[in-house]
Chains A and B, each alone.
Chain A
Amino acid sequence: MRTLPFLVIAALILVGGLFLPQFVGNPYYFFAGYVVLQYVVIATGWNILGGYAGYINFGTSAFFGAGVYVAAFLIKAFGAPLPVQILAAGVVGMLLGVATGYLTLRIQGVYFSIATVALVVVLETLIHNIDYLGGASGMQTIAPPAPAWFGGQTQYVFCAMLVLAVVAVVAARFIERSWIGRSLRAIKASEPAAEACGVPTLSMKLVACAISGAIIAIAGAPYAYYASHVDPLSAFSLTIGLNALAMPLIGGTRSWIGPVIGALLLASVQQIATVTISSEFNILAVGIVLIAFVVLAPEGILGLIADLKEKLRRRGARP
Chain B
Amino acid sequence: MEFLDLITNALVSGVALGSIYALLALGLSITFGVLHIPNVAHPALMIAGAYAVVFANARGLDPIVAALLLTVPFYALGIVFYEFYARAFEKRGRGNTLQSLTLFFGVSLVIEIALVVAFGTDLRSVEVPYVGRSLEFGIVLLPYRFLVPALLAPVVILALWLYMTRTYSGLALRAVAHDDRALSISGVNPVSIKRHAFGIATALAVLAGAALVITGPVDPFAGRVQIGRVFAIVVLAGLGSIPGTLVAAILIGIAEALVTAFLSPSWAPGVAFAILLGTLAIRPSGLFGAR
Contact = CB atoms under 8 A, between A and B. Distances in A.
B288 interface: no
Interface in B77-133: 88, 94, 96-99, 101-103, 105-110, 112-114, 116-117
Given A54-B98, A103-B277, A294-B102, A118 B38 contact: no
Interface string A14-53: 0000000000000000000000000000000000001000
Most buried by A among B101, B112, B117: B101
Q: How would you classify the secondary structure of chain A's contact residues: helix, strand, loop or mixed? A: helix
Contact of A122 (B96, B98, B270): B270
Interface residues of B, number: 42
A129 B103 contact: no
A238 B220 CA distance: 14
Interface in A217-265: 238, 242, 245-246, 249, 253
Nearest to A292: B106
B167 interface: no
A249 B113 contact: no
Interface residues of A, number: 43
B113 A284 contact: yes
Interface in A265-289: 280-281, 283-284, 286-289
Given A128-B266, A242-B105, A280 B38 contact: no
Contact of B110 (A118, A238, A288): A288
Contact of A107 (B105, B224, B273, B280): B280
Given A119-B277, A287-B106, A110 B97 contact: yes
Given A54-B98, A109-B97, A110-B101, A283 B277 contact: no
A113 interface: yes
A160 interface: no
Contacts of B273: 117-119, 121-122, 125
Interface string B237-279: 0000000000000000000000000001011011011101100
Interface stretch (B14-22, B63-71, B206-214, B225-233): B225-233
A114 B276 contact: yes
Contacts of A284: 109-110, 113-114, 117
Contacts of A54: 98
A56 B97 contact: yes
B135 to A, nearest CB: 30
7 contacts: A103-B281, A118-B274, A246-B102, A283-B113, A284-B109, A287-B108, A290-B105
Interface of B: 32, 38, 88, 94, 96-99, 101-103, 105-110, 112-114, 116-117, 224-225, 227-228, 231-232, 235, 264, 266-267, 269-270, 272-274, 276-277, 280-281, 284
3 shortest interchain CB distances as A-B pairs: A287-B109, A125-B270, A290-B106
Interface of A: 50, 54, 56, 58, 103-104, 107, 109-111, 113-115, 117-119, 121-122, 124-126, 128-129, 136, 238, 242, 245-246, 249, 253, 280-281, 283-284, 286-291, 294-295, 298
